[in-house]
Amino acid sequence: MKSIPVSTTINGDPYEFLCAPDETLLDVLRNRLSLTGAKEGCGTGDCGACSVTLNGRLVCSCLVLGAEAQGAEISTIEGMADGDELHPLQRHFIDHAALQCGICTPGILVAAKSLLEKNPAPTDEEVRYWLAGNLCRCTGYDKIIAAVQAAAAEMRGA
């Protein structure tokens, strides 16, 4: 199979890579670009551990082809903090003990950020339904919901 050259933007930086036509964006990020923050929990779109945004839309990067990144703007967990300044979501996840093992955390943070961009004041139920595609096996979600709400409140300036 002939490799495809791709030019894209990830977390604001230009990237160029070659990938196989059937290679997923997740594999490209992790194996070619050393961006291992997105995790593979299933490879079939069922766990959300690989969540990134593609042109502002929340996607499972295991269901996107690397070639589809051509000309796109991608955001991953590695781009969430501003230098050493954590995003409020990241801070509140630590403060609320919203992670135990932490493997789901990058995907959940990316998904939660995307929710708050669309809906800065979600109800608990809206947070739960938005995050229903992101499995966490450790926490029972309780502290995740609390952390998202605390971050949302801070971001609203409440």
Binding site for other proteins (CB under 8 A): 20, 30, 35-44, 46-47, 49, 76-78, 80-81, 86, 90, 93-97, 99-106, 109, 124-125, 127-129, 131-145
Label residue 102 left, alpha or beta by phi (over 0 means left) and psi (-120 to 50 means alpha): left
Question: Which of ligand FES, other proteins, none sits in contact with 81, Cβ below 5 to 8 A by type?
Answer: other proteins
115 binds, among other proteins, ligand FES, none (CB under 5 to 8 A by kind): none
d(CA 109, CA 21): 29
Q: Which backbone phi and psi does 48 adopt, to 5 degrees? A: 80, 0
3-state helix, strand, coil in the chain (%, to 5): 40, 20, 40
Token readout for 144 is 């995740």
What is the Cα–Cα distance from 59 to 22, expressed in whole angstroms?
17
Neighbours of 151 (CB within 10 A): 24
Q: Is 99 in the site for ligand FES (CB under 6 A)?
A: yes
Determine if residue 124 is left, alpha or beta; phi over 0 gives left, psi from -120 to 50 gives alpha, anything else beta: alpha
Binding mask 120-139 for ligand FES (x = CB under 6 A): ----------------xxxx
Site string for ligand FES, 4-23 (x = CB under 6 A): --------------------
Of ligand FES, other proteins, none, which one sits near residue 94, judging by CB under 5 to 8 A according to partner kind?
A: other proteins
Binding mask 43-62 for ligand FES (x = CB under 6 A): x-xxxxxx---------x-x
In the DSSP assignment, the letter for residue 32 is I
128 binds, among other proteins, ligand FES, none (CB under 5 to 8 A by kind): other proteins
- Residues near ligand FES (CB under 6 A) are 40-43, 45-50, 60, 62, 99-104, 136-139
